[in-house]
């Protein structure tokens, strides 16, 4: 349905035009006059700023035979029953993934349909922040480093880099990453979509419900892809959940603090 609008934009001074067919939207840069014309167009539901979002920070954890968080969710019991993620593909939408990480290199699915950088800065997996590598490790890493790390150590990963070299994401890049996850190779006749899409970041609006990515999430769920978002680190007080984790059709994951592992200085 965006075809006529794309033709119009092509001759009206718009730049960096990206069709977002997953949400029936278009991302673009345009002069102020064109933005005003679009905002007054009856065929345009909404014009909104391509808002920036800062990348989360990564933190180092202590080493143990089986990490306490895996025991807390009962992962070892599932491993004993044979549920280790074999045959599954998980997508990390984060700061990227360090392909040189020994726990993750062999678990990358590989190929042109397994990495997406909407900023066009890196053609192969990379992570300048560390957070995406940490999150991907929590999903699929094994125990080669001396402790069990990943929940599904036999699964493979793909990744879309939603945060750029400066550690900033824009909404349109996130839309494009979610769209990529629905059809990584751009060929709807092939089934190369991941089974799970994970995004361990939030919009830093505790208590608010921002539905800007709801259409994307609905499309992924309609394709039987599980969508997981972090619930944020603003609790434990009431009304501290954040989007996109508190929107519909999302598996929202919170955090647990193990007080026994904290060290206090006197």
User: At residue 62, does pLDDT exceed 60?
Assistant: no
Q: Reduce the DSSP state of residue 54 to 3 states and report it.
A: strand
Please state the rounded mean pLDDT for residues 213-241: 93
β-partners of residue 168 are 54
Please state the rounded mean pLDDT for residues 120-146: 93
pLDDT tens column, 21-55? 999 999 999 999 999 999 999 999 999 999 998 99
Q: 257 or 189, which is more confident? A: 189
| Local structure of residue 253 (DSSP, 8 states) | E
How open is the CA angle 108-252-236, to the nearest 5 degrees?
Answer: 125
Within 13 Å of residue 137, how many CA atoms lie on the same side as its CB? 25
Q: What percent of the chain has pLDDT over 90?
A: 76
pLDDT-based confidence at residue 92 (cuts at 50, 70, 90) = very high
pLDDT-based confidence at residue 1 (cuts at 50, 70, 90) = confident
Quick one: 200 exposed, middle or buried, by C-beta within 10 A (0-12, 13-18, 19+)? buried
pLDDT for 263 equals 56
Query: Terminal CA-to-CA distance of the chain, rounded, Å?
Result: 64
pLDDT for 158 equals 98
pLDDT tens column, 171-198? 999 999 999 999 999 999 999 999 999 9
Identify the weakest region by mean pLDDT among 56-70, 71-85, 92-106, 136-150.
56-70
Rounded alpha-carbon distances, angstroms, from residue 193 to 35, 125, 134: 34, 18, 22
Please state the rounded mean pLDDT for residues 120-127: 97
């Amino acid at each position: 349905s965006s075809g006529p609008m794309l033709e119009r934009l092509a001759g009206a001074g718009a730049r960096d035009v990206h069709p977002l067919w997953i949400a029936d939207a278009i991302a673009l840069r345009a002069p102020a006059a064109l933005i005003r014309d679009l905002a007054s167009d009856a065929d345009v539901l909404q014009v909104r700023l391509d808002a920036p979002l800062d990348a989360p920070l990564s933190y180092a954890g202590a080493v143990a035979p089986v990490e306490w968080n895996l025991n807390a969710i009962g992962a070892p019991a599932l491993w004993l029953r044979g549920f280790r993620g074999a045959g599954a593909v998980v997508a990390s939408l984060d700061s990227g993934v360090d392909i040189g990480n020994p726990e993750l290199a062999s678990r990358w699915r590989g190929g042109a349909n397994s990495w997406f950088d909407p900023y066009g800065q890196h053609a192969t997996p990379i992570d300048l922040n560390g957070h995406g590598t940490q999150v991907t490790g929590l999903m699929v890493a094994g125990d080669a480093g001396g402790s069990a790390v990943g929940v599904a150590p036999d699964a493979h990963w793909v990744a879309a880099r939603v945060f750029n070299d400066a550690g900033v994401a824009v909404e349109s890049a996130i839309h494009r990453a979610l769209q990529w996850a629905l059809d990584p190779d751009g060929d709807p006749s092939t089934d190369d979509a991941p089974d799970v899409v994970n995004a361990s970041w939030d919009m830093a609006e505790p208590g608010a419900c921002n539905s800007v990515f709801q259409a994307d999430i609905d499309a992924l769920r309609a394709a039987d892809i599980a969508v997981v978002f972090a619930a944020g680190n603003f609790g434990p007080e009431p009304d501290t959940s954040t989007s996109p984790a508190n929107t519909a059709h999302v598996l929202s994951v919170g955090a647990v603090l193990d007080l026994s592992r904290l060290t206090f200085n006197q």
